[in-house]
Amino acid sequence: MEKRMIWKGLQVSDFIHPGEVEARDALIRSAAFQKAVSLLSGASQMLNRTVVEGTYIQLSKETAPRVIKILEDVCRILDWPSVPALYVCRKMAQIVTPFCRMAETSSGSGFPETKENYLVMSDYVLRNFDEDMLYYSFGNAVAMIMAGHVKITTVAAYMGSSLWTAVPQMKFKQYLHMADSTSDRGGLLACQSMAAAARCHLLEMGLPLGLSRRLLATPRMMEDFLEQYLKEALGEERRMNGLNRAARMWIDATYMEGAAGGMLEELYQWYRKGYRKLRERYRERIRQGGDGCVQRKTV
């Protein structure tokens, strides 16, 4: 029986991407973003809830006790006081996404007030992810709530594709890519297994779960594989011709998420440096008498 550390007193500043705050401020200050937020009328939110949220099924302790227990553990590990409601949607995609229900009034930060946070996961994740991968995915989503990302991502979802021209593309995507790096770190803090985090990213890139489980079976195998893979992938990126570079820039400018390989490389570098330092700091706090561990079964 292994133990997961509880990050008692965890602050977003412990794991936030260093460029996220600046990117967020630049986005919020932009006139186009303020215009987009002003378009979020109560009617548009009601339409979104009716059409989209009406297709979700809420999970409970009675219908999915194991999954709800993992979500509760994730909130406890990240020292987040409220467990968001969890819904499942029917999709063949790797989705665990937080949303928030918003009031019609705006706060001083330029956003509508948040009424309630909730998570939406695909039935694909529910059927295929093992325990450690669920810890990572739920940790990623809860970290988005902790860091305030969910407000901006919900704004994007409510706007719809027809209104994207009203938003400064590069500022919006630059913020989202850095916010993704922050939430990936939150996922790692929750699962405390770089192998599980890597398997989630590698699945997104097309590597089957059974194969990634074999390739990353031990900590040494995991580090050897990721070192080799990232070295080759980044080397190939540096050798790109002009057309491929233009395609990559287009992806970075128009996709909600950053390139999966780049996100994995960012997370692995933080795992080697920032995560280990943060873990040692909290271990010292535990040794001095703080609350610190939650039991888990090894998968």
Distance (Å, whole) CA 189 – CA 275: 8
pLDDT of residue 296: 43
Total-model pTM = 0.84
Element (H, E) at 119: strand 112-122
pLDDT of residue 286: 80
- Residuewise pLDDT in 10s, the chain (299 residues): 468 999 999 999 999 998 888 888 877 777 767 666 666 555 556 656 665 667 889 999 999 999 999 999 999 999 999 999 999 988 888 889 888 776 655 555 555 566 788 999 999 999 999 999 999 999 999 999 999 888 777 766 655 544 444 445 566 777 788 889 999 999 999 999 999 999 999 998 889 999 999 999 999 999 999 999 988 876 665 555 666 666 666 665 555 566 677 889 999 999 999 999 999 999 888 888 755 555 444 33
> What's the Rg (C-alpha) of the chain?
19
Let me know: does 278 contact 178? Beta carbons within 8 Å. Answer: no
Match 């919006």 to its residue by tokens: 172
Distance (Å, whole) CA 157 – CA 99: 9
**In this structure, are strands 293-296 and 112-122 parallel, antiparallel, or unpaired?**
unpaired
pLDDT of residue 238: 57
Sort 66 into a burial class: Cβ within 10 Å, 0-12 / 13-18 / 19+. exposed
Residue boundaries of the structural domains of the chain:
2-296
pLDDT of residue 247: 62
